[in-house]
Amino acid sequence: MIGTRSDGLDRPLLVAPAPLLAIAALLINDHVLKSLATGDAATWVTGKVSDVAGLVYFPLLLLALLEPAFGPLRERRHVRVAAIVTGLGFAAVKLWPIATAAYGITWGAMQWVALASIAAAIGDDAPHLLPVACVADPTDLLALAGLAIPWFGRDCDSGTGADRGEARRKSSELAGEFPEAKHSTILVRPI
Amino acid sequence: MRRSTALRRVLHGLAIVVALSATVATSQRRWHVEAPEVGAAAQSLDAAQPGAVRRFRVAARPPLAGYDGAHARVTLQGTATWAAPPGATGTAVLRVVYTGLLRPDAQASSEVVLRPGEPLALSAVGDVDVSRCVEGRECGGIVGVEVTWPRPEGRVELAWTAAATASGTPERRRAEPSGDGLLVIEAMP
């Protein structure tokens, strides 16, 4: 079988340069650059960098977390649905005070689980359950541009338009030679 | 081939853990300090003394005092019980005014109605701004409640407690308030 779906599904979406770089950028930006930033402009930029980096990898993380329940979710349509869901959620948090509060409480609860586990392990008292800080800033919606990377990313390393045309031509030829391969999915490499 | 698949799974698992940690850990947790609840001596209202004032002093100490955006949220809770004279029917009406609270969210209205022998819960929540304190100095405010009984008949017993909490967003390059004793609330004589 050539270009079967299983070929494309072996490679997890998160284990790819773009999401891994985004995660690294988020960690460096939040733990190093933000503390170095002085002035409103620098604070504004570091805030946006965090949002963009998060939006690059979050749809793929979302799919990875759903995979145990739904099986492999590594096709382009899955990534795009996850990107839409992520974008809508992000916009809601930035524009709708109830969603902002819900985000703060949810993330606070997740942090609490981690902190309480650490406290229990070292024999300390459990920390207070506190929401995380979240600023509802509509200008953060500029960061939605970061979703373009997962949205189009799976084609990033599949070559030029001419290469793709060639690939399609060869695939058609193969489908003619191997009728059983006619309905197989063309291999699309993850980003 | 199998080794390659196993390696991919391990890498995938690691990527999920790192991504989840990055997602959760980068959001700054709000800080939170609280002052232990304090009670105040009971007060009585009657024909001889138809009004009473109860005040509490809220004090913030550095680094809470002067911390950007810091507000102490004060909760006043009280109980009013009317010991009606024999044969009294109807109700006793008290006027309650909370003072010193920014944006008070009083659950009790400015006039409360008591029935004989039935304790009535009174409460108010409001803020005291401690962000404008001079950095490095203790400061705070005084909150209070004034109760008057325009037409006293018998006796009304009043008891009050107060508690305060403060929370906020961490500031960069500044230690966030934590620990005991940063926020104190005490009943004034």
**Is the predicted pLDDT of residue A4 greater than 70, yes or no?**
no
Return all residues near B189 (Cβ < 8 A) that are at least 6 apart: none
* Closest CB from B15, B24, B31 relative to A15: B15
How far, in Å, CA of A47 to CA of A26, rounded? Answer: 10
Which site among B24, B33, B68 would you substitute to test the A interface, given the most A Cβ atoms closer than 10 Å to its Cβ?
B24
How far, in Å, CA of A76 to CA of A187, rounded? Answer: 11
Chain B residues close to A118, C-beta within 8 Å = none
Q: Given an 8 Å threshold on Cβ–Cβ distance, is A64 in contact with B28?
A: no
Based on its alpha-carbon atoms, the radius of gyration of chain B, rounded to whole angstroms, reads 25
Residue in A closest to B170 by C-alpha: A133
Strand (E) or helix (H) holding B122: strand B120-129
How far, in Å, CA of B106 to CA of B127, rounded? Answer: 12
Contacts within 8 Å (CB) and 24+ apart, B107-116: B112/B80, B114/B80, B114/B81, B114/B82, B114/B156, B115/B82, B115/B91, B116/B82, B116/B83, B116/B84, B116/B88, B116/B89
* Closest CB from A14, A114, A128 relative to B12: A14
pLDDT band at A154 (very low <50, low <70, confident <90, very high): low
Q: Given an 8 Å threshold on Cβ–Cβ distance, is A26 in contact with B30?
A: no
* Closest CB from A20, A110, A131 relative to B30: A131
Q: Given an 8 Å threshold on Cβ–Cβ distance, is B15 in contact with A14?
A: yes
Give the neighbor-by-neighbor strand order of the sheet with B51-60: B111-114, B92-99, B139-148, B51-60, B183-187
> What is the residue extent of each domain of chain A?
1-96+137-158, 98-135, 159-191
Three-state DSSP state, B143: strand
Residue A182, min C-alpha distance to chain B (Å)? 26
What would the mean pLDDT of A8-14 be, rounded to a whole number? 68
Return all residues near B103 (Cβ < 8 A) that are at least 6 apart: B126, B127
Which residue type, as a one-letter code, is found at position A64? A
Asked if residue B154 lies in contact with residue B85, where contact means CB atoms within 8 angstroms, the answer is yes
Chain B residues close to A11, C-beta within 8 Å = 8
- On whether the pTM is more than 0.90, the answer is no
pLDDT band at B104 (very low <50, low <70, confident <90, very high): low
What would the mean pLDDT of A177-183 be, rounded to a whole number? 45
Cis peptide bond N-terminal to B63, omega within 30: yes
pLDDT digits (tens, 9 = 90+) for B156-166: 999 999 999 98
pLDDT band at B147 (very low <50, low <70, confident <90, very high): very high
Three-state DSSP state, A148: helix
Q: Given an 8 Å threshold on Cβ–Cβ distance, is A61 in contact with B173?
A: no
Q: Which tokens in the block code for residue B34? A: 């609280």
**Is the predicted pLDDT of residue A51 greater than 50, yes or no?**
yes
**Is the predicted pLDDT of residue A44 greater than 80, yes or no?**
yes
Q: Which tokens in the block code for residue A186? A: 């063309």
pLDDT band at A183 (very low <50, low <70, confident <90, very high): very low
Residue (of B135, B152, B182) closest to B83 by Cα position: B152
Handedness of CA B94, B99, B101, B104 (dihedral sign): positive
Chain B residues close to A134, C-beta within 8 Å = 27
How far, in Å, CA of B28 to CA of A66, rounded? Answer: 26
Residue in B closest to A103 by C-alpha: B27
pLDDT at B172: 63
Q: How many helices (H) and strands (E) does chain A have?
A: 8, 0
Three-state DSSP state, B104: strand
pLDDT band at A174 (very low <50, low <70, confident <90, very high): very low
Please count the CA atoms within 13 angstroms of the CA of B52 that sit on its side-chain side. 22
Q: Given an 8 Å threshold on Cβ–Cβ distance, is B26 in contact with A27?
A: yes
* Closest CB from B16, B26, B30 relative to A14: B16
Chain A residues contacting B, CB < 8 Å? Answer: 10-12, 14-15, 19-20, 23, 26-27, 30-31, 34-35, 37, 50, 54, 57-58, 60-61, 64-65, 104, 107-108, 110-111, 114, 128, 130-134
Which residue type, as a one-letter code, is found at position B153? E
**Is the predicted pLDDT of residue B5 greater than 90, yes or no?**
no
Beta bridge partners of B127: B73, B102
